[in-house]
Chains A and B, each alone.
Chain A
Amino acid sequence: MNSGRCAACKSQRRKCPSDCIFSPYFPANDPQRFACVHKIYGSSNVGKMLQEIPPNLREEAANTLYLEAKWRIEDPIYGCVGIISSLYKQIQNAEIELAKIQTQIAFYKLQTQQQVIEAEPNMEVLQSQSSNMEQFEVDNLFEWENPTIASWFN
């Protein structure tokens, strides 16, 4: 009955019982999968973790344990935490880029509005009707000497 053993029991050189907790998730045809989790977590820890999880979630748990073990083997210092850190940086960079572009869009729109106002015959009336706050914001956006704003477009 040796051929019926799961990868875990083959690796541990023991009989594979019918209720083996590893056998549904660590088949014999993928020995590397169990070898990874065994190297990082140890087979008894993996067995304990799987026991504490409801049966319908054990496959997901085995998959994520395998992934994390694999990433830890590939990067012994940071493991999957290196990936998390890189994703954080990607998000940060994307948010900065997005803010820059949205500011550019706002700048263009305001400039277009300003040009429309200047082209209107009653522009003085329109300008006096605009709120003080809008005028303040327009003045600041045109403050190209502001080093922070100027640097975004350089």
Chain B
Amino acid sequence: MGGSSPCASCKLLRRRCTKECIFAPYFPSDDPRKFAIVHKVFGASNVSKMLQELPIHQRGDAVSSLVYEANARVRDPVYGCVGAISYLQNQVTQLQMQLAVAQAEILSIQMQPEPSNNNTTLLPSQLLLDQDDNEKFLLLSTSSAENNNNYEFLPQYLSSFASSSSSSSNVFQDSEPLKRESFC
């Protein structure tokens, strides 16, 4: 135990790494860049305060998200993660528009008179569609509306950034953040 190497944060801060070091579990000595980037953006004392205010079992996730935010800020000093959020929100809006168009199309198909062919045999799945398609359509519309309501607050904050989102998509090269980082 006495011979264990200091964690990345104590190495960078040039101090003794004690057993109670709050950073040691999350900033191992073999990944100095991870702490360096968090320290650059947030500052070691701020990170320490934030971690101290959290229960131990949530600190791993908090560190991962701080590292993600710090990386985003270093890559895009002007927009940071907000650029990525703006970009994703635009994608959501476009997809919802495509969904609305597709739903309108399927509704119009369902409302078309069927060709007069009494020999047509309906498949079981077709029977299910005919019975429940209106209900499904309503469900789809509802789910889209619910998804819209989840982030109503975002447009008001991001309205000034919408025009800049094209320049900020470079932040968003990585895959989903909570899968990319390994949470303790």
Contact = CB atoms under 8 A, between A and B. Distances in A.
Contact of B92 (A87, A97, A142, A153): A87
B17 interface: no
Contacts of A111: 126
Q: Is the interface of A mostly helix, strand, loop or mixed?
A: helix
Interface string A69-101: 000100011111111111110110111011001
A119 B64 CA distance: 63
A21 interface: no
Nearest to A151: B125
Interface residues of B, number: 67
Interface in B41-67: 41-43, 45-46, 50, 53-54, 58, 61-62, 64-66
B152 interface: no
A127 interface: no
Interface stretch (B4-12, B22-30, B75-83): B75-83
Interface in A95-149: 95, 97-98, 101-102, 104-105, 108-109, 111-112, 115-116, 118-119, 142, 144, 149
Given A60-B79, A81-B68, A119 B88 contact: no
A76 B45 contact: no
A78 B61 contact: yes
A11 interface: no
Contacts of A77: 54, 58, 61-62, 65
Contacts of B43: 41-42, 44-45
Interface string B112-123: 001111011001
A86 B91 CA distance: 13
Contacts of B173: none
Contact of B78 (A39, A53, A101): A53
18 contacts: A41-B43, A42-B43, A45-B40, A45-B43, A53-B77, A53-B78, A60-B79, A64-B79, A81-B65, A84-B81, A84-B85, A88-B176, A90-B92, A94-B95, A97-B143, A98-B95, A98-B98, A118-B120
Given A39-B46, A104-B129, 12 more contacts: A41-B43, A49-B41, A53-B78, A64-B79, A87-B85, A90-B151, A93-B147, A97-B144, A98-B102, A105-B105, A105-B109, A115-B114
Interface of A: 39-42, 44-45, 49, 52-53, 57, 60-61, 63-65, 67-68, 72, 76-88, 90-91, 93-95, 97-98, 101-102, 104-105, 108-109, 111-112, 115-116, 118-119, 142, 144, 149-150, 153-154
